[in-house]
């Protein structure tokens, strides 16, 4: 198990105050861009950008397709912050660091977290380029004790034993499905179960067959920790997976996947994902006035 020393509340506060002192934008929605989906941030107006390397206490993104910067701005009139690049357990980060930005967002008074990722399809009826609205997840790494809430619990963020049966907001999922019909992209949209594995290797055939039997529709190497941390501190969550490859479940199949192919699919569908997220943000109800 990776070492996971607790991060004190004051460290999160230091980062939040640093950002607040440098931008007048007070985001209510935070968006985490997955591999190849960084262009989502381009939809923000009145942008103010901060490199991760300049932000106190922030981890650094090391993966191709992750620009490594926070972009503040407005989306359809709503103040937002967008992470162009996330952090992963396979980069060597303990999950308390992977989820560090989520708790900073909470201290910035963010209300909704939108998570996106690139994922491989386990479901037989999914195709490359499809989009999956995440209705639930299986945190496979958590089964092995790799969990963002391990260690002492700080009640200022949330309870020791948070409920996860409502991890992905039903109202936002329903709204997204309605928007997909209006945008005429419902034919490529699904609602399904996402599974996080540790990575960084893509799945073996035996692993893919196991996940299929468990009812998994798409698999990736991120997202679950951020969602858990967000729900722990009371944020509403909406999740999207862009299906960038079909995971092989047949020993006679000669197809394979690589990171470059994942990035190319992200580029192909960036516009659709951007339109869907933009309309979702425009129509979602927030509790606090901007």
pLDDT digits (tens, 9 = 90+) for 72-107: 999 999 999 999 989 999 989 999 999 999 999 999
Q: Residue 60: what pLDDT?
A: 85
What average pLDDT does the segment 233-257 reach?
90
With cut-offs at 50, 70 and 90, classify the pLDDT of residue 289: very low
Burial environment of residue 45 by CB neighbours within 10 A (0 to 12, 13 to 18, 19 or more) = exposed
- Which of the 8 DSSP states describes residue 222? S
> Which position has the higher pLDDT, 270 or 59?
59
Where do we find the tokens 């944020």?
Answer: 235
End-to-end Cα distance, the chain:
41
Q: Residue 95: what pLDDT?
A: 95
pLDDT at 269 over 90: no
pLDDT at 69 over 90: yes
Where do we find the tokens 């002192």?
Answer: 21
Domains, the chain, with CATH or none? 9-243+256-283 (3.40.50.1580)
Q: Residue 2: what pLDDT?
A: 47
SS3 (DSSP) at 106: helix
pLDDT at 66 over 80: no
pLDDT digits (tens, 9 = 90+) for 120-150: 999 999 999 999 999 999 999 999 999 999 9
Provide, rounded to the nearest whole percent, the portion of the chain with pLDDT above 90: 78
The predicted model scores a pTM of 0.93
pLDDT digits (tens, 9 = 90+) for 176-194: 999 999 999 999 999 999 9
What average pLDDT does the segment 242-261 reach?
83
- Note whether 89 and 6 are within 8 A (CB): no
What average pLDDT does the segment 8-27 reach?
97
What average pLDDT does the segment 32-41 reach?
81
Question: H or E stretch including 134?
Answer: strand 131-139
> Which position has the higher pLDDT, 262 or 240?
240
With cut-offs at 50, 70 and 90, classify the pLDDT of residue 19: very high
Burial annotation 171-203 (CB, 10 A radius, 16+ → b, else e): ebbebbeebbeeeebeebbbebbbbbbebeebb
Please give the mean pLDDT across all residues of the chain. 92
pLDDT at 263 over 90: no
Q: Residue 196: what pLDDT?
A: 97
Provide, rounded to the nearest whole percent, the portion of the chain with pLDDT above 70: 93
Angstrom distances, CA of residue 199 to CA of 42, 115, 119? 29, 18, 12
Within 8 A by CB and 6+ apart from 106, the residues are 157, 230, 233, 234, 235
pLDDT at 260 over 80: no
Q: Residue 255: what pLDDT?
A: 73
pLDDT at 1 over 70: no
Q: Residue 64: what pLDDT?
A: 62
Q: How far apart are CA 217 and CA 117, in angstroms?
A: 14
Burial environment of residue 121 by CB neighbours within 10 A (0 to 12, 13 to 18, 19 or more) = buried
With cut-offs at 50, 70 and 90, classify the pLDDT of residue 67: confident
Q: How far apart are CA 52 and CA 232, in angstroms?
A: 24
| H helix runs in the chain, sequence order | 9-20, 95-98, 100-107, 140-143, 170-182, 205-213, 224-232, 259-283
Which of 172, 43, 31 has the alpha carbon at shortest distance from 114?
A: 31
Q: Per this entry, what is the length of the chain?
A: 290
- Note whether 222 and 86 are within 8 A (CB): yes
């Amino acid at each position: 198990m990776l070492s996971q020393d607790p991060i004190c509340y004051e460290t999160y506060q230091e980062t939040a105050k640093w950002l607040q002192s440098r931008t007048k934008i007070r985001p209510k929605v935070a968006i985490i861009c997955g591999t190849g989906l960084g262009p989502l941030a381009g939809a923000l107006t009145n942008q103010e950008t901060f490199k991760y390397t300049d932000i106190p206490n922030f981890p650094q993104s090391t993966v191709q397709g992750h620009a490594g910067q926070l972009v503040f701005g407005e989306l359809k009139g709503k103040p937002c912050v967008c992470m162009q690049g996330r952090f992963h357990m396979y980069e060597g980060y303990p999950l308390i660091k992977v989820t560090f930005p989520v708790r900073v967002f909470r201290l910035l008074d963010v209300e909704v977290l939108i998570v996106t990722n690139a994922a491989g399809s386990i479901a037989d009826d999914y195709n490359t380029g499809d989009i999956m609205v995440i209705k639930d997840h299986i945190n496979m790494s958590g089964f092995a004790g790799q969990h963002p809430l391990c260690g002492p619990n700080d009640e200022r963020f949330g309870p020791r034993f948070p409920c996860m049966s409502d991890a992905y907001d039903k109202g936002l999922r329903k709204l997204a499905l309605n928007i997909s019909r209006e945008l005429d992209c419902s034919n490529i949209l699904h609602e399904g179960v996402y599974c996080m594995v540790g990575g960084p290797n893509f799945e073996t055939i035996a692993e893919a067959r196991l996940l299929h039997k468990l009812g998994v529709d798409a698999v990736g190497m991120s997202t679950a920790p951020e969602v858990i941390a967000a729900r722990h501190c009371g944020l509403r969550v909406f999740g999207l997976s862009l299906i960038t490859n079909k995971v092989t479940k047949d020993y006679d199949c000669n197809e394979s996947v690589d990171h470059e192919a994942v990035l190319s699919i992200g580029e192909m569908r960036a516009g659709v994902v951007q339109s869907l997220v933009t309309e979702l943000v425009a129509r979602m109800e927030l509790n606090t006035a901007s």
